[in-house]
């Protein structure tokens, strides 16, 4: 992919796409709200990158702090959603 607009910020890419500047390549979780609202649509899903693994690492303890458990539950739910993987679009 090439073009005349280059940035190293996913937020700037989202804003550019919302303003109609062109196509952007971003992970689904970065634009999940926009996809849900319909302000952005997914195009060329066959060019999506392959699945990646995400791991949460924390000390092996009997007691896992509640905030760690909540965070692990959040990322598990967020990254396992069909919207993240954008398989339905």
Q: How far apart are CA 36 and CA 42, in angstroms?
A: 11
Is residue 57 within 8 Å of 73, Cβ to Cβ? no
Q: How far apart are CA 49 and CA 78, in angstroms?
A: 18
| pLDDT score recorded for residue 55 | 79
**pLDDT 10s per residue in the chain (89 long)?**
567 888 899 899 999 999 999 888 888 878 888 999 999 998 887 777 666 777 778 777 788 889 988 998 888 887 776 555 444 33
Q: Which of 51, 46, 3 is nearest to 23 (CA)?
A: 3
| pLDDT score recorded for residue 81 | 63
DSSP state of 65: P
pTM strictly above 0.85 = no
| pLDDT score recorded for residue 56 | 79
* Lookup result for tokens 């702090």: 65
**Per the structure block, which two tokens stand in for 21?**
């500047």
| pLDDT score recorded for residue 87 | 43
| pLDDT score recorded for residue 61 | 75
């Amino acid at each position: 992919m090439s073009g005349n607009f280059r940035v190293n910020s996913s937020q700037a890419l989202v804003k550019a796409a919302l303003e109609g500047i062109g196509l952007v390549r971003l992970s689904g979780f970065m634009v999940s709200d926009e996809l849900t609202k319909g302000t952005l649509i997914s195009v060329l899903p066959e060019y999506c990158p392959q699945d990646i693994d995400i791991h949460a690492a924390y000390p092996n303890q009997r007691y896992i702090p509640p905030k760690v458990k909540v965070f692990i539950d959040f990322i598990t739910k967020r990254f396992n959603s069909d919207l993240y993987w954008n398989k339905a679009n």
